Each structure stands twice: as C-alpha cells, then as structure tokens.
C-alpha cells in the first residue's frame, strides 16, 4: 500500500528544509556571478534543468492512466510559473523575473506550506510536486535577490494584469469542465489558508486584495534598491 503524505510529517519538513538551504545557495551563486560572463551561461543551464524536470512530469499527466481534464492540464499557476522562470533565466527579462518572483514568494510558498498532496516520498507524484515548487522558489530568489533583476511598479502592474487574465480564463474553464484549477471555483478539500478568508466567492475577493497588497510590499523595496543603484 502506498504511503500517504502527512502535512508537517518527516517528508514535508525535509522538503521545506531543502527549500531554505537551496535559497541560500542560489542567492549566493547569483551574487557571485552577477555581471560576469558566467551569468548568462548559468541562467541557461538552470533553465534547461527546469525543462528537463518539468516537461517529462507534465507529459506524465497526459498518459492514459493519469489523464483527467480536471487535474492534468497545465492550468495551475505553478504550471505556468516554471514557464515564466525558464524565460526569465534564459533572457533575464524583468517582466518574467517579476512574475516568477511575486508568484513564487507568495503563491508557490503557500502551496508548499499547506500542500494539497496525498502521495508521500518516494512516489512519483511527491517528487513531481516538490521538484516543481522548489525550482520555482529557487529561480525566484536567484533572479531577484541573486542577479538583482528587480521588479518595478510597471512590471508589478503587468503581473497583476497577467494574474487577473489567468483567473478569468481558469474560472471559465472550471465552470464548463466541473474542475477547480487554482481553487478559483471552490476551496481545496484539505485545510489551507483559504479557510481563514470566508466562503466562496468572498475568499476570492479577500485573496485578491491581500495578494495585491503583499506584492506591492515586495515590490516597494525593490524599487528603492533600483533607485539606490542608479544614484
């Protein structure tokens, strides 16, 4: 019988510890190579590494035994976040770095703190879930705190617009396919932070307001840092 994942059990705490250690490592690496010839090379190597991990895991969802239109499509924000991360790592685009950072620091970490996961280590779904989330988080810190590709108010507002467009599109699909990507149409079955925000659709409104405010707080010191660098 397959082991069942336990929130804040050994495998969960180990993954969170690995996340913290990795953050320290990627920030150190980014600052060490920033502005050198190695910066572009390392970014592309990491981007390829993410593709090597993420693409096969996504293809796995399309296999006959795994396919389910309610869960297999790459409609979760984390499914899109790794794509933005790959683009940012390859091109050092400020917009896609901002999207990766703001989504990663808030939404991806929330999914890691209260994961909607049944499979435990070393099952494929466990490895898929944590590989995807850890790579997004590490890329976010590497790009912004390591390489100093800092968000601006312009990229903040464009990230808000991209996220709003995603939410509308996913809501429409969920409604037509009886799905719940992004928990836009209902809360997850397991306990989550959303339980503190009231019933649907109130929690959606509250979540949007909180996320927009937190993103602004994350962006503000970056704009101050950019002004200092230019001075």
pLDDT, one tens digit for every residue, the chain (231 residues): 456 777 888 889 999 999 999 999 999 999 999 989 899 899 999 999 889 888 888 888 888 888 888 888 889 888 899 999 999 999 999 999 999 999 999 888 888 887 777 777 878 778 878 888 898 999 999 999 999 999 999 999 999 999 999 999 999 999 999 999 988 998 877 677 777 888 888 888 898 899 999 999 999 999 987 766 665
Q: Which residues contact 2 (CB under 8 A, 6 or more apart)?
A: 119, 120, 123
Q: DSSP alpha helices (H): ranges in the chain?
A: 10-33, 38-60, 77-91, 94-102, 109-113, 124-141, 153-177, 202-230
45: in domain: yes
34: in domain: yes
5: in domain: no
205: in domain: yes
138: in domain: yes
* Domain encompassing residue 44: 10-230
* Number of domain units in the chain: 1
35: in domain: yes
Count of CB atoms within 10 A of residue 112's CB?
A: 20
3: in domain: no
What pTM was computed for the model?
0.88
Record the tokens describing residue 223, joined without a space. 């704009």
193: in domain: yes
């Amino acid at each position: 019988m397959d082991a069942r994942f336990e929130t804040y059990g050994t495998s969960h705490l180990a993954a969170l510890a690995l996340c913290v250690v990795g953050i320290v490592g990627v920030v150190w690496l980014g600052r060490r190579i920033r502005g050198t010839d190695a910066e572009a090379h390392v970014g592309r190597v990491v981007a390829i590494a993410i593709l090597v991990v993420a693409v096969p895991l996504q293809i796995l969802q399309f296999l006959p035994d795994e396919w389910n239109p309610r869960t297999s499509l790459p409609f979760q924000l984390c499914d899109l976040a790794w794509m933005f991360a790959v683009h940012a790592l390859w091109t050092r685009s400020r917009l896609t770095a901002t999207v990766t950072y703001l989504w990663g620091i808030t939404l991806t970490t929330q999914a890691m703190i209260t994961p909607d996961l049944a499979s435990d280590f070393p099952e494929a779904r466990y490895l898929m879930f944590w590989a995807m989330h850890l790579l997004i988080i590490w890329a976010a810190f590497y790009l912004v705190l390591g390489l100093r590709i800092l968000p601006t108010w312009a990229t903040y507002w464009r990230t808000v617009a991209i996220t709003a467009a995603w939410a509308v599109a996913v809501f429409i699909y969920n409604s037509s396919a009886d799905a719940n990507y992004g928990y836009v149409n209902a809360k997850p079955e397991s306990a989550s932070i959303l339980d503190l925000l009231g019933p649907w659709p109130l929690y959606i409104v509250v979540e949007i307001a909180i996320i927009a405010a937190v993103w602004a707080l994350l962006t503000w010191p970056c704009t101050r840092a950019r002004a200092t660098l230019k001075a």
